[in-house]
Structure 1
Amino acid sequence: MMSKAKRPPPDPVAVLRGHRASVTDASFHPSKPILFSGSSDGELRIWDVIQHRTVSSAWVHSAAHGIIAVATSPLIGTNKLISQGKDGTVKYWDIEEGDLSRSLPLLTIKTNAYHFCKLSLVKEPVTNLEPTYREAETLDDAGGRAAGTPEEFSKPYEGETHLGGSSYVAVVGEESSVVEIWDLKTGERVVQLPQNSFADNPSFSSKERGMCMAVQAFLPSGSEGFLNILAGYEDGSMLWWDIRNPGLPITSMKFHSEPGLLTSI
């Protein structure tokens, strides 16, 4: 019996050439035919995807460390851009003029984090998404479900951290198992997850889960505008946080036996 011939992969619509080092991340403008890209030598480029050419470029992070992530969102403004370097900084840019070489960042956040986990801007409100308050399940070595160790989780409640809105960025902190939320308006760190200073459960820690590999900030429709964070860890587990209660996650599940590299809503 003859095997079916494999179809060749489709040709690209366009190839954008210009970076001198490996491209590490890319992000489309939310409303314009523009692409942003960052590379391992710290260069940030703005591309016109219709004319297939570079509009502007500049080395905005240390060449020795490079860029980890570039991100934009209509929630922070249509002409705003975030870049994250492995030099321990996050930079907030206004690209309205389109000339990076003459621009200074609106804000530079010194996270002192030298990891490879990409930052997350806040996603627009997510509908029909409700957490399940349940005990954690784990995966055995073969990838099947095994009985998990019960953990204590709590529903979010008022009286802890009142942090709402979309002008925030979530990054892995100096301690690689901790997620930090920074305010893009003030450049200040406003909360850590977990925040072990809370007396209701000072013993909770995410260290045993290993490094945080992926993070996503979002606004569930039922959260009244308060920020939620989904974080994936080195051991394959995921924690869901409502930052009104940064001492404890809402819930935890272990979907993978290996580290999860992407978390998205």
Structure 2
Amino acid sequence: MSKRPPPDPVAVLRGHRASVTDISFHPFKPILFSGSADGELRIWDTFRRQTVSSAWLHSAAHGIVALASSSSLGTNKFVSQGRDGTLKVWDFDDSGLSRIPSLTIKTNTYHFCKFSMAKNQSTGLKEGEPSKNCIETEEAHTNQSCSESSEGLPYVALSGENSSEVEIWDLKSAERFVRLPSNIGHNSSSVSSKGMCMALQLFVPSESQGFLNVLAGYEDGSMLWWDIRNPGAPISSVKFHSEPVLSVCIDESCKGGVSGAADERIVMYSLDHSSSKDL
């Protein structure tokens, strides 16, 4: 059976001088962010298909690893991750991009793993509507902190300074508030044996009572599901792939996902929140 040829592109956006390393659509505006290996960001108007602003956010020696824009940041902000060990929050408006970041976090992580912003279960909330969020801090895992917020969850997960660990950072305070596995856990060595953390998805399923969960893919093909209420050990561990996991994504219901790996397999799976053993 002959394969059909791929469809022609609707448009081709040209302008970067180096390889494009990440792209991200704005959640509410017809805007596309793109970053390249030489550290350049371009903001594109997807209607006119033209660059409306560009700047070098990270050095050419390190480049941009990842970009993200989210309703949790507000309408006129986005985050960039460079291989220089920093996360930066930027402001932009119709006149262009700010030349100085509004926040810089020195994470001291120099991996290729892209950071992940928190994904809430889709509830039909519109921009600006309040939602109730609960988090825990690294210092007091048993104390629940809940607050009303109109900006959602301004948290990011990234591969830690120890490349087998996952760290979650608060973009408002520029502080790390949890490490997975935690230092108090007895499973640190077993997680380290899985190699580097290669792909992440931070999410908030309704069954978790608002607490952050993380799905992490590792160098040996394993995937671990973490709930920050139990930072010492994952609530589930599977190995769908025989090669490093390169990407993971959770659907809008936070009840299923998909992963891709270097073994050329794409795997779809469900997330069973009623079980602590399996994905």
Does 1:259 find its partner at 2:244? yes
Match of 2:119 among 103, 117, 123: 123
Under a length normalisation based on structure 1, what TM-score does the superposition of the two structures give?
Answer: 0.81
**Residue in 2 aligned with 1:140?**
none
Which residue number in structure 2 is paired with residue 30 of structure 1?
27
Instruction: Measure, in 1, the Cα distance between the counterparts of 2:248 and 2:143.
Output: 24
Deviations 1:30-50 (A, max 9, x none): 011100000000001100011
Equivalent residues in 2 for 1:20-99, closer than 5 Å = 20-99=17-96
Residue deviations 1:173-214, cap 9 Å, x none? 11110010011001011111000225xx36654110000010
CA distance in 2, matches of 1:120, 1:52: 27
- Residue 244 of structure 1 corresponds to 229
Give how far 1:162 is off. 4.1
- Give the superposition deviation at 1:78: 2.2
Bigger relative contact order, structure 1 or 2, given CA contacts below 8 A and separation 6+?
Answer: 1
- Which residue does the alignment assign to 1:169? 156
Cα distance, 1:73 vs structure 2: 1.3
Q: CA deviation at 1:29?
A: 0.6
Quick one: distance in 2 between partners of 1:116 and 1:234?
12
**Gap change, CA 1:96 and 1:224, over 3 Å in 2:** farther
What is the alpha-carbon distance in structure 2 between the residues aligned to residue 259 and residue 64 of structure 1? 26
Match of 2:184 among 190, 197, 200: 197
Q: For 2:71, what is the secondary structure of its paired residue?
A: coil
Q: CA–CA distance in 2 between the matches of 1:224 and 1:95?
A: 34
Gaps of 5+ in 1: 128-157
Please tell me the residue identity of whatever aligns with 1:111: T
Distance in 2 (alpha carbons) for counterparts of 1:53 and 1:76: 24
Deviation at residue 240 of structure 1 after TM alignment = 0.5
Tell me how far 1:161 sits from its aligned partner: 6.3
Q: Distance in 1 between matches of 2:92 and 2:71?
A: 13
> CA contact under 8 A between 1:172 and 1:178: conserved in structure 2?
yes
Q: Which runs of 4+ in 1 moved over 2 A?
A: 158-165, 201-205
For 2:182 and 2:104, the matched residues in 1 are separated by 24
RMSD of aligned Cα (Å): 1.9
Taking the TM superposition and a 5 Å limit, the aligned residue runs for 1:86-165 are 86-100=83-97, 102-125=98-121, 160=142, 162=144
Does structure 2 conserve the Cα–Cα contact (< 8 Å) formed by 1:160 and 1:245? no
TM-superposed CA distance for 1:97, in Å, is 4.4
CA contact (8 A) 2:226 2:236 kept: yes
- Secondary structure, counterpart of 2:245 in structure 1: coil
Identity across matched positions, percent: 66
Does the C-alpha gap of structure 1 residues 126 and 39 become closer, same or farther in structure 2, counting only changes over 3 Å? Answer: same
- Corresponding residue SS for 1:261: strand
Q: Which moved more, 1:68-77 or 1:235-244?
A: 68-77
In structure 1, give the amino acid aligned to 2:53: S
Counterpart contact for 1:232–1:262, Cα < 8 Å: yes
Match of 2:14 in 1: 17
Shift of 1:244: 1.3
Name stretches of at least 5 consecutive residues in structure 2 with no aligned partner. 124-139, 147-151, 251-279
SS at match of 2:193: helix
Q: 1:216: which partner in 2? A: 201
TM-score in terms of structure 2 length: 0.77
CA distance in 2, matches of 1:116, 1:159: 29
Shift of 1:163: 6.6
Instruction: Report the structure, 1 or 2, having the larger strand content.
Output: 2
Aligned length: 229
Show CA shifts across 1:39-86 (max 9, x none): 000001100011111000000001101001011111222222010001
SS in 1 for 2:120: strand
